[in-house]
Structure 1
Amino acid sequence: MLTNTLTALLLAVSAIAYPIEDPISVIKRAPSPGVVITKCSQPGVLALAYDDGPYQYTSTLVDILDKAGAKGTFFWTGTLYGCIYKQKAAVQKAYASGHQIASHTWTHSHMGSMSASQITTEMTKVEQALVNLIGKKPAYMRPPYLETGGQFLPTLRGLGYKVITDDVDAGDWNNQTPQQSEQKFQQAGAGGNGHIPLMHETYSGTVNTLTPWLINWAKQNNLKLVTVAECLGDADGMYQPGNFTGNGQSTC
């Protein structure tokens, strides 16, 4: 009798200290804003993620992904390679094809040395441009140079952004060839939670050589090619215009 009573008491204490969460709420939990995320939250996926566009290769990249039934994430700037509005057709094509559209800031500057006000301007100008072009604003972003110091994370948390970096650096920005990039993915392997690579759509080799190789590599390793949002358990990764608080101005 005493043993049964002690057992019941221990179980009650354990339930208080370690409450069992509703499985449905755990599944639906979205990534927290203002927290750096480096890789996917689930295995069996690969989130192809490209920075610095939109650019002259955007439309071709969309075609390559679409042909393979793959989804990618585009972290776009407002002015790095010309004005985003001049790439209207490519922007709308990528969004219409079901790829995730995310922010890479307006000018691709060093966010870690900026004030909260300057960071906010960098983000809201991209938001406004995307609202103008596709009717939605992004919920995800990747910081230029992967810099997250200073006022950056607190500001992004207040703006509601999920902050993405990477766990595999393709090295295309550092003059590495697609073949050298391929070796990095082979070394990283296909096990564990899925990778979120750092790649740039502004290099022909990344678009025309590395991406087809990654599509084939994913197929060989039974990896599903999904958006960053999907690989984190978030269905969309975009906000409706009603969440936007900008002033409607976003000219280059």
Structure 2
Amino acid sequence: MLAETVLAGLALASSAIAAPAPNPIEFVKRAPTPGVVIQKCSTPGVLALAYDDGPYQYTSRLVDILDAAGAKATFFWTGTLYGCIYNQANAVKKAFASGHQIASHTWTHPHWASLGEAQIRQEITKLEDAFVNLIGKKPAYVRPPYLETGGQVLPVLRSLGYKVITNDIDTGDWNHYSPQQSEQAFLQAGAGGNGHIPLMHETYDSTVNVLTPWLINWAKQNNLKLVTVAECLGDPDGAYQAGNFEPNGQNSCY
């Protein structure tokens, strides 16, 4: 009886040793969670060009530069910061038609960390209405003005289903950095690891016509694919809110 038990134990151990090792754990990619701040891409081999504060006079030119390079970008747009968004209707539609991601940067670009829930909500929904009128979509991504996420900002954005983006590289163009100074931020950060989400502004000629071509070339040299923020987060189908939205016919900000 003892011998049989020992033999059975040895057979079991031998079977366990001979069994193939389990496959490495495969992590299931999940879409970003609304109301949670995201600073960087979740995948390597990409660079998510992200531009704030438009649409503006350089938007159409920027789209041409990106399209010529086969690059995609994300435009975090406002309603009234650099003039009324409806005055740039052609540029807005052009960027959307070219496959770039259209995202929110609020209606007036306020310091909204000190605002109440109703005011924050209005900053989002007024811009949503404009986007529906212009491209028939409501964005699902937002970059808070001044990167402010305190107070009621995140709870309200969570309730509205918005994925919140900041950055992991600051080009400093808003602080009068030259394109060459901005380039150093990318060189120091490097092209390894998960992709970067930079803070840039399409409202500066130097960012559009000097820094962007340099970034396109830098990405090519480092085998980085230029993608939208949603794509760099493994969320290519989640850039916009689900549903069919009806334009209200408005074509003025006032």
TM-score bracket, shorter-length normalisation: 0.7 to 0.9
CA separation of 1:246/1:123 partners in 2, compared to 1, >3 Å: closer, same or farther? Answer: farther
1:240 CA displacement: 4.0
1:238 equivalent in structure 2? 240
Show the counterpart of 2:17: none
Cα distance between partner residues in 1 of 2:149 and 2:207? 25
Aligned length, in residue pairs: 235
Distance 1:97 1:247, change over 3 A: closer
Question: Structure 2 counterpart of 1:213, which letter?
Answer: W
Give the structure 1 partner of residue 42 of structure 2: 41
Aligned to 2:105: 104
CA contact (8 A) 1:135 1:241 kept: no
| SS of residue in 2 equivalent to 1:217 | helix
User: C-alpha distance in 1, partners of 2:74/2:184?
Assistant: 22
Give 1:210's aligned residue. 211
Once the two structures are superposed, residues 111-142 of structure 1 have per-residue CA deviations (whole angstroms, 9 ceiling, x without a partner) of 10011110000000111100000000100010
Cα deviation 1:47-101 (Å, max 9, x = unaligned): 0000000000000000000000000000000000000001000000000000000
**What are the within-5 Å matches in structure 2 for residues 47-196 of structure 1?**
47-196=48-197
Aligned equivalents of 2:227, 2:146: Cα separation in 1: 24
Q: Is the 8 A contact 2:104 2:142 kept in 1?
A: yes
Q: Distance in 2 between matches of 1:117 and 1:139?
A: 19
C-alpha contact 1:128 1:248 (8 A) present in aligned 2: no
- Structure 1 residue 238: Cα displacement: 1.1
Superposition deviation, residue 251 in structure 1: 3.1
Whole-Å Cα distance in 1 between the matches of residues 114 and 249 of structure 2? 26
CA RMSD in angstroms, aligned pairs only: 2.4
TM-score (ref. length: structure 2): 0.87
Question: Sequence identity of aligned pairs in percent?
Answer: 75
Q: State the AA in 2 paired with 1:185.
A: F
Please list every run of 5 or more consecutive structure 2 residues that lacks an aligned counterpart in the other structure: 13-22
Give the conservation status (yes or no) of the 8 Å contact 1:65–1:71. Answer: yes
Measure, in 1, the Cα distance between the counterparts of 2:154 and 2:93. 29
In structure 2, the CA distance between the partners of 1:130 and 1:230, relative to structure 1 (3 Å rule), is: same
Q: Secondary structure at the match of 2:53?
A: strand
Give the letter aligned to residue 97 of structure 2: A
Q: Distance in 1 between matches of 2:70 and 2:246?
A: 35
Q: Aligned to 1:85, what secondary structure does the other structure show? A: helix
One-letter amino acid matched to 1:87: Q
Query: Is residue 54–residue 91 contact of structure 1 (8 Å, CA) maintained in 2?
Result: yes
Shift of 1:44: 0.3
